[in-house]
Amino acid sequence: MISISNLTKTYPGKVQALRGVDLEIGGGMFGLVGPNGAGKTTLMRILAGLVRPTGGTVSVLGQDVTTPRGKLATKAVLGYLPQELGLYPNLTAREFLDYIAMLKGVTDRAIRRRQVNDVLQQVRLSDEVDRQLKTYSGGMKRRVGIAQALLGDPQLLIVDEPTAGLDPEERVRLRNLLADMAARRTVILSTHIVEDISQSCTDLAVIAHGKVLFQGASRDLIAQARGHVWTINSSGERPNAGLTIVSTLQLQDTVQYRVLGEPHGHAATPVEPSLEDGYLWLMNNAG
């Protein structure tokens, strides 16, 4: 469905955002995870036809995004939620969605109204449609963002850091919403929060410094850390160098550390790795 080969992007000032990215993305929900500044947003923008790559090829649903015709064809089947979600503060949700539907080519007023009502229902905002967007909470604004992306029933949904800044309840709600959306289309979820991926994506790619470090199933990334994750209970010093401390839990008399690496000289108990452990293990080994 999406095929990316040897993709590079260099911004003015010789800033290399992408350095030879190869990816194959099929249907369903696909996670793209990496630290801030890894190149995720640049990759999302290239897929959305907003940024022109410096080199390489990108095919979305058989269309070459680097050509004007392919870009237009891709935009016609695309729903896009950018990382920096800007909304017109004085418009109501209904007015904003009506405007975006028009930009997506729905010129018939009755059809537009029906589509807007449909997406508002999907994101459970039907009761709040006539309030100005400036009165919405962060989570509600994100849901409006998802709603606008769903207008026109897109085959491809790209969401860039959708859960950033949301409270836990809103994050869970948004993740579930995206998972529902993925039943009928490809959803690419870009995030630096591994938990978002672990809860919703079976396939993922890890990107850092403009390169893909891993692509495959979540379980394969988890498997990479198997045998390298431990808990250490200590009443004194923190576990020494060479170990990555994933979490620290203050118990009654001791402190329990969850660590990655080889715990030489410590009384350590092996534990089953999580996706976050797999991600950290990969990032550590990538240097």
Partner 1 sequence: MPHVDELRAKLIEDAGSAAEADRLLPALRHLADWPAPTPTALETDRLVQTLAAELSAQRSSSIVSLMAGLLRAQLRVVQHEIWLASAFVMTLGVLVTLTLQPGTSIELLPVVLLAPLMAALGIAFLYGPAADPSLEIELATPASPRLIVLMRLLLVFLFDLVLSLAGSAALVVLQGSWSLWPLVALWLAPMTFLAALAFLLSVLFIDPLISALICLVLWGLQVLRAFPPFAAFPDWLASDLRPWLWLMALLCVSVALWLAGREERQLLKRI
Q: Which residue, 54 or 117, is less far from partner 1 as judged by CB?
A: 54
Q: Which residue, 47 or 232, is less far from partner 1 as judged by CB?
A: 47
Q: Which residue, 84 or 272, is less far from partner 1 as judged by CB?
A: 84
CA distance 276 to 282: 10
Contact, 23 vs 47, CB < 8 A?
no
Q: Work out which of 6, 37, 52, 135 binds partner 1, going by CB under 8 A.
A: 52
From the list 59, 38, 18, 40, the residue with the least C-alpha distance to 190 is: 40
Q: Which residue, 85 or 268, is less far from partner 1 as judged by CB?
A: 85
**Least Å from the CB of residue 34 to partner 1:** 19
Query: What does the longest C-alpha to C-alpha distance in the chain come to?
Result: 72
- Count interface residues toward partner 1 (CB under 8 A): 35
Encoded one letter per residue, x for contact with partner 1 by CB under 8 A and - for no contact, window 62-91 reads ----------x--xx-x-xxx-xxxxxxxx
Stretch that binds partner 1, among 43-51, 162-170, 249-257, 261-269 (CB under 8 A): 43-51
**Three-state DSSP class for residue 250:** strand
* Tokens 């979305």, residue located: 60
Cα dihedral: 173, 128, 28, 105 (round 10): -160
E strand spans, 12-85:
15-25, 28-33, 55-60, 63-64, 78-81
Q: Which residue, 10 or 202, is less far from partner 1 as judged by CB?
A: 10
Encoded one letter per residue, x for contact with partner 1 by CB under 8 A and - for no contact, window 227-256 reads ------------------------------
Buried b (16+ CB within 10 A) or exposed e, 2-35: bebeebebeeeeeebbbeebebebebbbbbbbbe
Encoded one letter per residue, x for contact with partner 1 by CB under 8 A and - for no contact, window 159-198 reads ----------------------------------------
* Tokens 């890894």, residue located: 38
CA distance 45 to 40: 9
Q: Work out which of 36, 69, 105, 235 binds partner 1, going by CB under 8 A.
A: 105
Q: Work out which of 40, 43, 98, 281 binds partner 1, going by CB under 8 A.
A: 98
- Does 48 bind partner 1 (CB under 8 A)? Our answer is yes
Query: Which residues from 126-155 bind partner 1, rule CB under 8 A?
Result: 145, 148
> Which of left, alpha, beta for 253 (phi over 0: left; psi -120 to 50: alpha)?
alpha
CA distance 194 to 222: 12
**Least Å from the CB of residue 130 to partner 1:** 13
Binding stretches for partner 1 (CB under 8 A) = 11-12, 45, 48-52, 72, 75-76, 78, 80-82, 84-91, 95-96, 98-100, 102-105, 107, 145, 148
